[in-house]
Amino acid sequence: MIDGQVPTASTHRRRRISLIWLVPLVTALIAGWLAWDTFSKRGPTITLSFNTAEGLQAGQSQLKFRDVTMGTVKGIRIAPDLSRVLVTVETVREATPLLTDKTVFWVVKPQLFAGNVQGLDTLLSGSYIGMLPSTAEGTPQREFVGSEDPPILQTAIPGTTFQLRTKRLGSLSLGSPIFFRDLAVGTVLGWDQSDLVNGVTVSAFVRAPFDKYVREDSLFWNASGMSLKFASGGVRVQIESMRALLLGGIAFDTPADSKAAVATADHRFPLYASADAAQSAGFGRHMEFVSYFTGSVAGLDPGAEVTFHGLKIGEVTNVDLVYDPKSDKIRVPVHFRVEAARIANIAPMQGIPAGALAAEMVRRGLRATLQAPNMLTGSKVVALVLMPEAPAAEMTREGDTFVLPSDEGGGFDSITRGASELLSKINRIDFDAIGANIASAAKGLDTTINGPELRQSLASLNATMADVKDLAHKLDADAGPALKRLPEISAQLQDALTRIGRLAGSLNTGYGDDSRFNRDMTRLMAQLSDTARSLRTLTDLLSRNPEALIQGRSDKGK
């Protein structure tokens, strides 16, 4: 203490922030960071419309692509027009470039589709929305119409899609397999329904590396179901596979010596109804013909064979029924296609066009006929037959179609007509008159056989034979007394011969030359001839040796 002064203390107030305020500050920073992180990862909100929201739940169901979550369902509501269900999905940022007009959405749930059981994993996890973005560039979009069925290809498989044009789908369905040399190399993706009046366009996907075997001259045909054919060796059954039997299928083939270029994407091919139709198309240029028939064509249908020398060279394409005012008749034009290349080297060898060659063959007697090769089924074919004796005819044309003369005089129909004509002739026979004539002839024959004249003739004949026998006996013993009866015996014999002559005439009228009675009479006449010959011999003997009547036979006892 200096100079008695008392020291004094002074205070200074300092401002300090409490550490407790760090807690809300840190919390605010974390909340801000979380909000920023959430909004930075958040993608656009999209709206999907479905027919039904079966299995979907707001706040729980998810949007997935390849099992990666791309969003969550935030709300489900009914559209204002009550026709659809609107599902609001909040997506993640990674989904933004995938949301284009080419992206496909569908509800994944347990179902049997395209021959496969899909969505079994949703039995435990619940239904979710699947998405399939396109590798092609598209326009960004936020509202989509969901598909009721999942896409056939749910992953980006390398390959090529081709367009197949056909009149009918047959047994084809979504997911039907596509075969090449009995290998499943693709699938049917769907079909275009915009032009069903003229046909159906099928989208066929062939995966790599098999798509390189599809060339511009490849042939596609419907391989659905089972092929059943009756061949000379028996019944032939062919199926592409059990899957094709159940779901339908398509097969294609390319000639081994093909020089055509590899087909590009969306190249259009015709889809043939069968392998036979595709094989027929593979013979190259076709010639269109029409033949007119006036008789029945029952059993002839489109697709029936056209044959030449028993071998198929084409098929029937159409059968119509038209009225011809010139002839005032109903005619049946049968249109058919002939593959000219099936007759090997004929046109080059002749050195003339195929049409001129066909005209020359018509002048030589080529005609179209209907034949029924299978009597069991009654099906018919158009058979081209060479008839050199046929009336002269010329082949004409109706536009691009050749008119081939027809002949209805052959085949099963001619047999039927011949049988019908025979039955008509038989029906015209007067069987009643024939029966009456037969009855009258039988009555006359009965009268002749059982009449008194025949009985008298037989009685006289028996008496004559008895007399002859007695005469022979007496002549053997003593010829003298017998000579006295010679005139009487001659008269009886003459009378018997007269009666026998009348009897023979009567029997000749009532019997044929080969009857039993005629044969008996022939033997009897032979015996009478022998008797008469014996009498002439006796008479000659007595004329030369009258003493024989007294002395008897000179050789008696020898």
Q: What is the pLDDT of residues 236-284, one digit of tens each?
A: 555 555 555 666 788 999 877 778 899 999 999 998 888 877 776 665 5
pLDDT at 144: 93
Q: Which one of 93-107, 113-127, 182-196, 270-284 scores highest in mean pLDDT?
A: 93-107
Q: Kindly state the tokens that stand for 477.
A: 């013993």
For the cut 60, the answer to whether the pLDDT of residue 345 exceeds it is no
Residues 272-314 pLDDT 10s? 888 877 776 665 567 888 999 888 888 888 888 888 888 888 8
Name the pTM for this structure: 0.48
Task: Please name which of 417, 532, 403 lies closest in space to residue 464, comparing C-alpha atoms.
Answer: 532
**pLDDT one-digit tens code per residue, 108-150:** 887 665 555 566 666 677 789 988 888 778 889 999 998 887 8
Return the pLDDT at 72: 92
Residues of the chain above pLDDT 70, percent:
65
pLDDT for 232:
47
Are 206 and 158 a contacting pair, CB within 8 Å? no
Q: Nearest CA to 148 among 186, 194, 106? A: 106
DSSP-assigned states of every residue in 345-380: THHHHHTS-HHHHHHHHHHTTEEEEEE-S-TTT---
Pairwise CA distance, residues 191 & 169, whole Å: 9
Q: Which of 31-35, 102-106, 164-168, 260-264 has the lowest mean pLDDT?
A: 31-35
What is d(CA 540, CA 546) in angstroms, rounded to the nearest whole number?
Answer: 10
Mean pLDDT (whole number) for 506-514:
59
pLDDT, residue 210, reads 92
Q: Is the pLDDT of residue 208 over 80?
A: yes
Whole-number Å distance between alpha carbons of 431 and 450: 28
- Which residue did the predictor score with more confidence, 515 or 181? 181
Better-predicted residue by pLDDT, 487 or 367: 367
- The listed range with the strongest mean pLDDT (341-345, 428-432, 461-465) is 461-465
> What's the average model confidence in pLDDT over 505-522?
62
Residues 32, 17: Cα–Cα separation, whole Å: 22
State residue 48's pLDDT score. Answer: 92
pLDDT at 471 over 60: yes
Higher pLDDT, 12 or 529: 529
- Predicted confidence (pLDDT) at residue 362 exceeds the cutoff of 90: no
Per-residue pLDDT band for 78 (boundaries 50, 70, 90) equals: very high
Instruction: Report pLDDT for 258.
Output: 78
CB burial of 338-348 (b: ≥16 within 10 Å; e: otherwise) equals bbbbbbeeebe
pLDDT confidence of residue 349: 47
Residue 218, token pair as written in the block: 């490849």
Q: Which residue has the tokens 């062919």?
A: 238
Residue 450 has pLDDT above 90, yes or no: no
From 120, 123, 116, 121, select the one nearest 151 (Cα to Cα).
116
Token pair in block for residue 221: 């045909």
Beta bridge partners, 262, equal 215
Separation between Cα atoms, residue 515 and residue 505, nearest integer Å: 14
Indicate the average pLDDT of the chain. Answer: 76
Rounded average pLDDT over 165-178: 83
Predicted confidence at residue 162, as pLDDT, reads 94
pLDDT at 351: 53
Q: What is the mean pLDDT of residues 552-558?
A: 50
- Alpha-carbon distance of 53 to 76, in angstroms, equals 8
Asked which of 217-226, 230-239, 243-252 is least confident by mean pLDDT, the reply is: 230-239
* Residue 86: φ, ψ to 5°: -100, 125
pLDDT at 107 over 80: yes
Contact 108, 122 (CB under 8 A): yes
